[in-house]
Amino acid sequence: SDHYLMGGRSVSPNFLFAWPNAHVAIMEPDKLAQTIIQERSSKDGTDVDLKKLSIKLQRESSTIFGATRILNDGIILPQETRKVNIFIISNDRKY
């Protein structure tokens, strides 16, 4: 599967909001867990629990996890997206 940068702090947005069901990660958490385990086991033979790592990555890629660490500017409901965008754009122009 392909992975695309759809946004994030690395592209310097003025604002960064997320929907409640969004996940923010470099790749799907389960695939990332498998990749990490393959890398670690080939380097030093470390045995890592795939299920525990996958659960940790799922949790840490959630919108709520990001919001609690101020990695985004807030969580908005999908049906409120247009209203929030209009508000942000109209207020952003004032600066």
Q: What is the pLDDT of residues 32-88, one digit of tens each?
A: 888 888 887 767 766 678 888 888 999 999 999 989 998 899 999 999 999 999 999
User: With 60 as the cut, is the pLDDT of residue 9 above it?
Assistant: yes
Q: For 10-25, write each residue's pLDDT tens digit.
A: 888 888 899 999 888 8
Distance from C-alpha of 38 to C-alpha of 50, rounded to nearest angstrom: 10
Q: Which two tokens stand for residue 70?
A: 């101020």
Distance from C-alpha of 66 to C-alpha of 83, rounded to nearest angstrom: 22
Cβ neighbours of residue 46 closer than 8 Å, sequence gap 6 or more: 40
Q: Where are the domains of the chain?
A: 12-92
* Residue linked to tokens 């470390």: 46
Give the distance, in angstroms, between the CA of residue 13 and the centroid of all CA atoms in the same chain: 15
Q: Which two tokens stand for residue 50?
A: 């795939």
Degrees to nearest 5, angle at CA 61 with 53 and 31: 50
